[in-house]
Amino acid sequence: MTNPGEIKLISGTNSRKLLEEISKYLGIQICDYEVTRFKDGEIRVHVKESVRGHDVFIIQSTEPPADNLLELLLLVDAVSRASAKRITAVIPYFGYARQDRKDQPRVPISAKLIANLIQVAGTSRVLSLDLHADQIQGFFDIPVDNLYATPVFKDYFNTLDSARDIVVAPDVGATKRARAFARRLGDVPIALIDKRRPEPNKAEIVNIVGDVKGKRCLLVDDIIDTGNTLVEAARALIESGASEVKAVATHALFSDNCLEKLQSSEIAEIVITNSIPKVCELKHNKIRVLSVAPLIGDAIRRIHEELSVSSLFI
């Protein structure tokens, strides 16, 4: 695409704070727009300046409630009808990503439906962060850039000590992520927790594959929801002789009484990002929140300038 015009930055109400951080990082003023509600609760969006011929980036995480997704769709439609040159949906947390396949009869593939809605609304490109399932990129017929938050965590942890530290995948699905994380932070060894999940949001630790005795363990996952997986994993690691357990996750949903469970758990520190905005308001002595604004800002600049985004990947 040639000459995509200026960068125009917009967000839904959910990701406004992240938008402001990205705007400051890029040195670009936020587009003049508003998202309000009618008396009956219907969402009303209004873009107050011209976006004709420009490169529009709409930042919005789409965790529940569904209004977050609906705001994104309405904003995309608004700038599409206003003749934006290109519209990139920047979705730090892609809601419904865990429903990416039909695992029993008569259930939807919700992630595919959400992808269809985003694309049909008029989106030209999607930029997301640590998608729960890589195959979701294939649910779209438009370009999808899936960033990884590992560079953000690397800046925080710097380099791990291969003699004292070990990266732990809390389940088989997190093995690839843990291996990449371990390689990026000093090529440290990894361990795997073999886990059964008898029903949703319940985890049962079966076995630990790898030697964690005397080691500082770093549990690496993409999402913390109820916290059951991490809490049980930390308990099993300490019982197996680990000297310390910390946890790292990109997306912090913190459902139900997750924070209370984490507080009373064996986990010494939980490092997360601000991909889900509500975590920025937390006051919790075990939790450290890192900003993904520089990472997303760099990706936005590269997309706008038609440069490769792959250098930001792990």
Catalytic residues: 195
With the CA atoms of 308, 291, 132 and 230 taken in that order, what torsion angle do they form, in degrees rounded to the nearest 10?
150
| Sequence-separated (6 or more) residues with CB below 8 Å from residue 58 | 10, 11, 12, 72, 75, 76, 79, 87, 88, 89, 90
For residue 125, the SS3 value is strand
C-alpha to C-alpha distance for 293 and 274, rounded to whole angstroms: 9
Which of 223, 222, 217 is closest to 265 using CA atoms?
217
* Bridge partners, 8 (sequence order): 56
Find out whether 190 and 182 touch, Cβ atoms under 8 Å: yes
- Angle among Cα 113, 7, 17 to the nearest 5 degrees reads 70
Question: Which tokens go with 135?
Answer: 């195959």
Show the DSSP H helices in the chain as ranges. 16-26, 67-81, 110-120, 150-157, 175-184, 228-239, 258-263, 293-304
C-alpha to C-alpha distance for 183 and 190, rounded to whole angstroms: 9
Question: Which tokens go with 29?
Answer: 């003023």
Which of 208, 199, 269 is closest to 228 using CA atoms?
199
Find out whether 72 and 12 touch, Cβ atoms under 8 Å: yes
Question: Which tokens go with 80?
Answer: 């599409």
DSSP assignment of 66-81, as one string?
A: THHHHHHHHHHHHHHH
